[in-house]
């Protein structure tokens, strides 16, 4: 599966829409996109993963690295649209207590 990442800036918030699977093969592409703004001081980023079908530990590592980099720059990241499976992955690893995450509202 391929990975597509769309980026736009809305009211000083960088919004990323991630579509596809985040694994060892596709994670470098996601990392490159996210880190294109990581050097900005005080940046706010939102990552919509509502169309991510699968994520492995490599993908989680990308989110952790991005979070740490933004923290160092006094920035903030929020991950939105997590389906139950992805939300559970963040819960099991304890990342839901560290990274601002939001479960999909209509996920059943």
Judge whether 7 lies within some domain: yes
Judge whether 99 lies within some domain: yes
53 pLDDT above the threshold of 60: yes
Q: Residue 70 is part of a domain; what is its CATH number?
A: 3.30.750.24
Judge whether 93 lies within some domain: yes
pLDDT digits (tens, 9 = 90+) for 62-74: 999 999 999 999 9
- Is residue 1 very low, low, confident or very high in pLDDT (cuts 50, 70, 90)? low
Q: Please report the pLDDT score of residue 87 as a whole number.
A: 94
pTM, to two decimals: 0.92
Full residue range of the structural domain in which residue 67 is found: 3-103
Look at the chain and report how many structural domains it folds into. Answer: 1
Sheet with 100-103, edge to edge strand ranges: 3-10, 13-22, 44-55, 76-82, 100-103
Judge whether 108 lies within some domain: no
Judge whether 43 lies within some domain: yes
């Amino acid at each position: 599966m391929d990975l597509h990442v769309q980026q736009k800036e809305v009211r000083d918030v960088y919004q990323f829409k991630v579509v596809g699977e985040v694994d060892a093969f596709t994670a470098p592409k996601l990392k490159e996109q996210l880190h294109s703004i990581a050097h900005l001081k005080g940046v706010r980023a939102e990552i919509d993963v509502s169309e991510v079908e699968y994520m492995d530990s490599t993908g989680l590592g990308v989110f952790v690295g991005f979070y740490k980099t933004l923290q160092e720059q006094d920035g903030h990241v929020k991950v939105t649209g997590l389906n139950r499976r992805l939300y559970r992955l963040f819960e099991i690893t304890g990342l839901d207590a560290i990274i601002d995450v939001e479960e999909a509202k209509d996920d059943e």
